[in-house]
A and B are shown apart, each in its own frame.
Chain A
Amino acid sequence: MSAPLLTVENLRVDFVTRRGIVPAVRGISFGVGREKVGIVGESGSGKAVTGRAVLRLVPHPGRVSAKRIDFDGVDLMGLSERELRQIRGERISMVMQDPKFSLNPVMRVGSQIAEAYRIHTGASASECRRRALAMLEAVRIRDVERVYRLFPHEVSGGMGQRIMIAMMLIPDPDLLIADEPTSALDVTVQMQVLAIVDDLVSQRGMGLMFISHDLNLVASFCDRVLIMYAGQIVENCLAAELHQARHPYTRGLLDSLPRVDDTRAELPTLARDPAWLEPLAADRTAGS
């Protein structure tokens, strides 16, 4: 692992409801360097909330606490809302799952990208436009002048997601948090979008937190994988070594996936062990 860009220690997220406190993330610690880190888990494992907690985007009634969330020498937990806005979007940005819900439907996509640049740099309108067009080219959109003038409903899912990525990358962040950025896309488009992210991450030396439910995808795309179960990190390993994973939950997930060359008569199903819910010793989650 390279020098960590983001260090999270003992992060907890609780949702306070009428029926009591529901813990979504239960004391996890991890670091992200200038590398691609995948966070994998099933629905309800706390993976998406972890990504949001870093940027203080957990919706009400969620309650975030952490010993520290250290980003490039700054403790994000100690910042005011105003100070955090200097970091959010500019140095850490986030791509959400569905471009349909994260783009402004009544604004041309080019203007939205240009706006992101203007807010963070204060550049002139013509400079913003020029940068936005260059960014659209960087995410491999053809005929950028035409696409610049389109509205979100006029673009396909794959193009919408590229536009989102362009918007998130134009302020040149150090860390990108991507929450299921390609789950709504067809496989080939998914791979093309990932290739763009991959190139940008390696060219710009960014860190990437890639949140996904797709084990095989993360194993082939990321450098390192964190597996979450019931709000805890149960496995932290190199992506290339995922197939030698030790935790029975990881093993169970890997086994339950059908493969194209599958000839098994029955897929093994996951027998959930109540012991996996027990709090893990700190040293098991802290290391990398």
Chain B
Amino acid sequence: MIRVRDLTVTFGHGAQAIHAVRGIDLDVAEGESFGIVGESGSGKSTVLRALVGLNPDWTGEIAIAGEPQHRKRPKAFYRSCQMVFQDPYGSLHPRYTVDRILSEPIEIHRLGDADRRIVDVLRDVGLGPEFRFRFPHQLSGGQRQRVAVARALVLEPKILLLDEPTSALDVSVQAEILNLLRRLRHERGLTYVLVTHNLAVVAYMCERVAVMNLGQTVEELPVADLRAGQTDHAYTRQLLSASQGYDRQAVEGYRSF
């Protein structure tokens, strides 16, 4: 479904150039849920932004659903591939109602039948019709993230790119959104690429995971191996140990990679 070869993203040029992503290969099958984990500055979000076309300056090959992609994406591309952002407070237009937020993509793609689509998609993300004419500031963080998911789903895409979809939310709300995303994937046969710094979220949501550091893939492993702690790479082991909680002894052994 998604095939990436030697993806490289550089910001700036000359001596100031920052190599955010340095030659990444990815293969994600249809219906699979693929995770990318890493710390800040590892390039994980940049990969996602290059995939969806928000980041035009990349080199390498990106093919989505068999179609090679270029800098500019055709409109039809966005019907098959949508993104959910980290911050539900910043990604919804503050002066648009939920209805208008959801009807805009329908108009742009001339799908028609907006009324039915909006009611259906709201129900699918667990919001009642009473939310349709509310503004984002009248919603809680979890409800807002549901609206962001609804906006991505209203075009009935095949691929959903998720950039830290729950890191701005409280843990009890995080559980609701993760359950919702898992259910939607099974119901609609969606393909997910999930970027997060939280190993537990990846272990819960994904089948395969790539660990990134400094713009490169450290390793790619099935989530079952991650659960069992079976990894050959010291970086992944350190990340695992740090996410299990505080351990004074373990911190002594940490090094920078």
Residues of A within 8 A of B (CB): 42-43, 157, 186-192, 194-195, 198, 213, 215-217, 219-221, 252-253, 256-264, 266-270
**A186-B39, A187-B39 known; A213+B179 contact, CB < 8 A:** no
CB-defined contacts of A191 to chain B, threshold 8 Å: 242, 246-247, 250-251, 254
Question: Across the interface, which residues of B come within 8 angstroms of A195, CB to CB?
Answer: 246, 248, 251-252
Q: Distance in Å from the Cβ of A27 to the closest Cβ of chain B? A: 23
Whether B200 lies near A260 (C-beta < 8 A) is yes
Chain B 10-28: CB-based contact to A (< 8 A → 1; otherwise 0): 0000000000000000000
Cα(A30)–Cα(B243), bound, Å: 29
Is there contact, CB below 8 Å, between A219 and B245?
yes
Q: A186-B39, A192-B254, A215-B171 are in contact. Are A220 and B246 (CB under 8 A)?
A: yes
Point out the residues of chain B lying under 8 angstroms from A263, CB to CB: 227
Q: List the A residue with the shortest CB-CB distance to B174.
A: A256
Question: What is the distance, in angstroms, from A255's C-beta to the closest C-beta of chain B?
Answer: 8
Shortest CB-to-CB span from B42 to chain A, Å, is 9
Cα distance A158–B199 in the bound complex, in angstroms: 20
CB contact between B246 and one of A157, A186, A217, A262 (< 8 Å): that residue: A217
Is the CB–CB distance between B227 and A253 below 8 Å?
no
A256 to B201, CA, bound (A): 11
Complex CA–CA separation, A188 to B176 (angstroms): 27
- Report whether A42 and B227 are in contact in the complex, using a CB–CB cutoff of 8 Å: no
Offer 8 A-B interface pairs, CB within 8 angstroms, sorted by A.
Answer: A186-B197, A189-B39, A256-B171, A256-B174, A256-B175, A257-B175, A257-B200, A266-B182
Whose C-beta in chain B lies nearest to the C-beta of A254?
A: B171
Which of A43, A189, A270 touches B175 (beta carbons < 8 Å)? A270
Chain A proximity of B257: nearest CB distance (Å): 9
Residues from chain A with a CB closer than 8 A to the CB of B242 are: 187-188, 190-191
Q: Mark B229-257, 1 if CB is under 8 A from A, else 0.
A: 00000000011101111111011101000
In the bound complex, residues from chain A placing their C-beta under 8 Å from that of B245 are 216-217, 219-221
Interface-central residue, B201, B245, B247, by most chain A CB under 10 Å: B245
Q: Which residues of chain A come closer than 8 Å to B239, judged between CB atoms?
A: 187-188
One digit per residue, 1 when the CB lies within 8 angstroms of any chain A CB and 0 when it does not, for chain B 108-141 equals: 0000000000000000000000000000000001
Q: Which chain A residue has the least Cβ–Cβ distance from B202?
A: A260
User: Please, which residues of chain B bring their CB within 8 A of the CB of A260?
Assistant: 199-200, 203, 226-227, 240, 243-244
Task: Tell me if B96 is interfacial: C-beta within 8 Å of chain A.
Answer: no
Given contacts A191-B254, A258-B200, contact A269 B175 (CB under 8 A): yes
Nearest-neighbor residue (CB-CB) of B40 within chain A: A186
A187 touches B197 (CB 8 A): yes
Q: How many inter-chain contacts with C-beta < 8 Å in the A-B complex?
A: 101
User: Lowest 7 A-B CB distances belong to which pairs?
Assistant: A220-B245, A256-B175, A258-B204, A270-B172, A186-B39, A267-B175, A221-B246
A270 vs B200: C-alpha distance when bound (angstroms)? 18
Identify the closest chain A residue to B172 (Cβ): A270
Q: Is the CB of B170 within 8 A of A43?
A: yes
Which A residues touch B172, using CB under 8 A? 42, 252-253, 256, 269-270
Indicate which residue in B39, B170, B197, B203 contacts A259 across the interface (CB closer than 8 Å).
Answer: B203
Partner of B243, one of A157, A187, A219, A252: A187
Residues of A with C-beta under 8 A to B214: none
Please give, as numbers and ranges, the residues of chain B lying within 8 Å of A216 by CB-CB distance.
244-245
Q: How far is A157 from B39 in the complex, measured between Cα atoms in Å?
A: 12
Return B139 CB to nearest CB of chain A, in Å: 14
Bound CA–CA A220/B242 (angstroms): 11
> In the complex, A56→B57 CA distance in Å?
50
Tell me the complex Cα distance, A220–B250, Å. 12
Min CB–CB distance B178 → chain A (angstroms): 6
**A183 to B87, alpha carbons, bound, how many Å?**
16
Q: In the bound complex, do residue A188 and residue B254 qualify as a contact, i.e. CB atoms below 8 Å apart?
A: yes
Q: Which residue, B226, B242, B250, has most C-beta atoms of chain A within 10 A? A: B242
Q: Is the pair A258, B201 in contact by a Cβ cutoff of 8 Å? A: yes
In chain B, what residue has the closest Cβ to A214?
B171
- Of all chain A residues, the one with the shortest Cβ separation from B183 is A266
- How far apart are the CA atoms of A10 and B136 in the complex, in Å? 36
Interface string of B162-179 (1 = CB under 8 A from A): 000000001110111011
Bound together, the chains give a CA A257 to CA B171 distance in angstroms of 6
Contact flag A258-B170 (CB < 8 Å), given A191-B246, A219-B245, A268-B175: no
CA distance A187 to B246 in the complex (A): 10
- Return chain B residues, CB-CB under 8 Å to A267: 175, 178-179, 204
Partner of A42, one of B170, B179, B201: B170
Contact A192 B251 (CB under 8 A): yes
Look across to chain B and name the residue whose beta carbon is closest to the beta carbon of A187.
Answer: B242
For residue A222, which residue of chain B has the nearest CB?
B246
The answer to whether B243 and A253 have CB atoms under 8 Å apart is no
Given A192-B251, A260-B243, A260-B244, residue A253 in contact with residue B200 (CB < 8 A): no
